[in-house]
Amino acid sequence: MARGYAAGTIGKPGGDGGRIVAGGADRAERDAIVARVMAELEAHARPLKGFDPHRYFRTTATTTFVNTGTPFMRRLGRVIAREHRAVWSLADALAVADVLVRDARFEAKGVGIEVLASFHARFAPSLLPRLKPWLARDHAANWATTDALCGYVIGPLLLAYPDLAADVATWATHRNLWVRRASAVALIKPAVKAGGTALDAAFEVATALRGDPHDLIHKAVGWLLREAGRSDADRLVRYLRDGGSRVPRTTVRYAIERFPPALRNDLLQGTRGDAPRTGR
């Protein structure tokens, strides 16, 4: 087995006062960790056996696949974070994650995201503008990497700092597909758990993305609306009825999945272009 599964020393998490400040990692250590990650991934690679990951993950950038599997990726990222938590700051974790996310290998990106996610107790608002370029520059140019970044990093950041939800909502008009998808997926957990500003931002994003032509956006918005409905089901029903045929059909189908069959059917019919408006 390749090295790297000792528990190491676990430090007590602490905040960085809202700033991302340097800690105990230098360039040589980061390079060694990155090299270790690559060696571990290659050592645990599996045959693709005819599976086409480019088609499955819908990547829009040059991406290669080692095929180690998600459980191994996540475990490796957590182990690295645990071994260095006592001496690393958020900036150190970000520096390592930045190298890994920029790598062409899908699995390296996943490890980098997991490393950074493991430092969630030290997240600061200044992290958000450091994450957007990963999306805008196509370092997360597939649905799986984008959704992992949103679910494990951006979402928890928004839960810790709810005012940032408004900033993420502005991403809905970005020219990059993955930034737009992130504007929806990153708000899913905050819309459910925090409500309030995050819930308002969720419906704002859904409206801004109504005319988007890409099915990956239609699905992401439907997912967001479905989860937002857990916080306020009546608001979701009103939103869909008011939107009518302007809401993409895929979005509607995703959004109503948790409703009773009769209401689902009513909303499917009521959001068609020729349907009259009715109450719930």
Q: Is residue 128 domain-resident?
A: no
Q: Are residues 3 and 79 in the same domain?
A: yes
pLDDT band at 2 (very low <50, low <70, confident <90, very high): very low
Residue pointed to by tokens 């150190």 = 92
Q: What is the mean pLDDT of residues 141-150?
A: 98
Same structural domain, 39 and 89: yes
Report the C-alpha gap between 40 and 97 in whole angstroms.
16
Residue 143: inside a domain, yes or no?
no
The larger pLDDT score, comparing residue 49 to residue 64, is at 64
Give the residue from 211, 206, 210 showing the smallest Cα distance to 223: 206
What pLDDT is attached to residue 195? 76
Number of domains in the chain: 2
C-beta of residue 92 within 8 angstroms of C-beta of residue 22? yes
Write out pLDDT tens, residues 219-273.
999 999 999 999 999 999 999 999 999 999 999 999 999 999 999 999 999 998 7
Specify the range with the lowest mean pLDDT, choosing from 17-26, 96-105, 134-143.
17-26
- List the domain range (segments joined by +) for residue 57: 1-122
pLDDT higher than 80, residue 8: no
Same domain, 99 and 167: no
Pair (210, 88) in one structural domain:
no
pLDDT higher than 70, residue 14: no
Tell me the Ramachandran region of residue 21: left when phi exceeds 0, alpha when psi lies from -120 to 50, beta otherwise. beta
Q: How does pLDDT run across 93-107, given as a tens digit for each residue? A: 999 999 999 999 999
> What local confidence, expressed as pLDDT, does residue 157 receive?
98
Same domain, yes or no: 80 and 161: no
Domain check: are 164 and 280 in the same one?
Answer: yes
Do 105 and 227 lie in one domain? The reply is: no
Same domain, 163 and 94: no
Q: How confident is residue 27, by pLDDT bands cut at 50, 70 and 90?
A: confident
* pLDDT value of residue 49: 83
Whether the pLDDT of residue 25 is over 80: the answer is no
Q: Is residue 142 part of a domain?
A: no
Which pair of structure tokens corresponds to residue 168? Answer: 């993420």
Question: Mean pLDDT over all residues of the chain?
Answer: 89
pLDDT band at 209 (very low <50, low <70, confident <90, very high): very high
Count CA atoms closer than 13 A to 16's CA, side-chain side: 21
pLDDT value at position 20? 55
3: confidence class by pLDDT, cuts 50, 70, 90 = very low
User: Same domain for 169 and 79?
Assistant: no
Instruction: Tell me what pLDDT residue 48 has.
Output: 82
Residue 145 lies in a domain: no
User: Domain for residue 37, yes or no?
Assistant: yes
Digit-coded pLDDT (tens) for 53-95: 888 899 988 899 999 999 999 999 999 999 999 999 999 999 9
Same domain? For 117 and 157 the reply is no
Give me the CATH number covering residue 249: 1.25.10.90
Q: Report the pLDDT value the prediction gives residue 190, as an integer from 0 to 100.
A: 96
The answer to whether residue 17 is domain-embedded is yes
What are the φ and ψ backbone dihedral angles of 198, each rounded to 5 degrees?
-65, -40
The predicted model scores a pTM of 0.88
- Whether 18 is in a domain gets the answer yes
Q: Does residue 166 sit in the same domain as residue 278?
A: yes
Residues 143 and 57 sit within 8 Å (Cβ to Cβ): yes
Domain match, 105 and 157 both: no
* Residue 49 resides in a domain: yes
- With bands split at pLDDT 50, 70 and 90, how would you rate the model's confidence at 275? very low
Looking at 122, 138, 168, the residue that finishes a domain is 122
pLDDT value at 15 more than 50: no
Domain termination residue (choose one: 77, 105, 122): 122
Dihedral angle, C-alpha 115, 121, 123, 124, nearest 10 °? -160
Q: Is residue 4 pLDDT above 60, yes or no?
A: no
